Amino acid sequence: MTTTVDLVPGLLTTRDAIAAAFGCGKYQGIEPANDAGKVFVYSDPSAGEEYGYTFDGRAEDDEFGPLYLYTGAGASGDQVPSGRNGSLLTHVEKGRELHLFVAAGKLPGSDTTAQRYIGQMVLDPIKPYVVRRGPGQDHKMRNVLVFQMRVAEGTTPAWTEADKLPAAVTSSIQILDPEENLPEPAPLPKQTGAKAKKSEEHSTAETVANIPAGQRKVLRREGALVKEFRAHLAAAGHTSHSFQITIAGEPGALTPDLYDETVHVLYEAKGQTTRPNVRMAIGQLADYRRHIPSPENLRVAVLLPSEPTDDVKALLSEQQVHLVYRTEDGFAGWPLA
pLDDT digits (tens, 9 = 90+) for 215-244: 666 677 888 899 999 999 999 999 999 999
Domain assignment present for 282: yes
Angle between helices 310-318 and 275-288 (to 10 degrees): 10
Domain assignment present for 20: yes
Band (pLDDT 50/70/90 cuts) for residue 108 is confident
Domain assignment present for 175: no
| pTM exceeds 0.75, yes or no | yes
Question: Is there a single domain that holds both residue 32 and residue 139?
Answer: yes
Question: Is there a single domain that holds both residue 51 and residue 132?
Answer: yes
Summarize the confidence of residues 310-320 as an average pLDDT.
98
Domain assignment present for 2: no
Domain assignment present for 4: no
Question: Is there a single domain that holds both residue 138 and residue 236?
Answer: no
Boundary of a domain, candidates 132, 164, 196: 164
Give the total number of structural domains in the chain. Answer: 2
What pLDDT shows up at residue 193?
A: 34
User: For position 102, which CATH number holds?
Assistant: 2.30.280.20
Domain assignment present for 191: no
Question: Is there a single domain that holds both residue 233 and residue 92?
Answer: no
Question: Is there a single domain that holds both residue 123 and residue 240?
Answer: no
Question: Is there a single domain that holds both residue 19 and residue 149?
Answer: yes
What pLDDT shows up at residue 245?
A: 95
Is the confidence at residue 201, as pLDDT, over 70?
A: no
Q: Which domain holds residue 160?
A: 12-164
Question: Is there a single domain that holds both residue 235 and residue 156?
Answer: no
User: For position 306, which CATH number holds?
Assistant: 3.40.1350.10
Question: Is there a single domain that holds both residue 259 and residue 320?
Answer: yes
Question: Is there a single domain that holds both residue 91 and residue 225?
Answer: no
| Residues 5, 9: Cα–Cα separation, whole Å | 12
Contacts 24+ apart (CB under 8 A), 169-173: 169/248, 170/246, 170/248, 171/246, 171/247, 171/248, 172/245, 172/246, 173/243, 173/244, 173/245, 173/246, 173/291, 173/292, 173/293
pLDDT digits over 134-148, tens only? 888 888 999 999 999
pLDDT digits over 41-92, tens only? 999 988 766 666 678 999 998 878 899 999 999 989 999 999 999 999 999 9
Question: Is there a single domain that holds both residue 29 and residue 145?
Answer: yes
The strand pair at 141-151 and 113-123 is best described as: antiparallel
What pLDDT shows up at residue 192?
A: 32
Is the confidence at residue 253, as pLDDT, over 50?
A: yes
Domain assignment present for 189: no
Boundary of a domain, candidates 164, 193, 208: 164
Question: What's the burial of 70, exposed, middle or buried (CB within 10 Å: 0-12/13-18/19+)?
Answer: buried
Cβ atoms of 279 and 270 within 8 Å: the answer is no
pLDDT digits over 149-182, tens only? 999 988 999 999 999 998 888 899 999 986 555 5
Question: Is there a single domain that holds both residue 149 and residue 222?
Answer: no
Domain assignment present for 178: no
CB contact set of 289 (below 8 Å; sequence gap of 6+): 266, 295, 298, 300
Question: Is there a single domain that holds both residue 136 and residue 268?
Answer: no
Cβ atoms of 251 and 60 within 8 Å: the answer is yes
Cβ atoms of 226 and 258 within 8 Å: the answer is yes
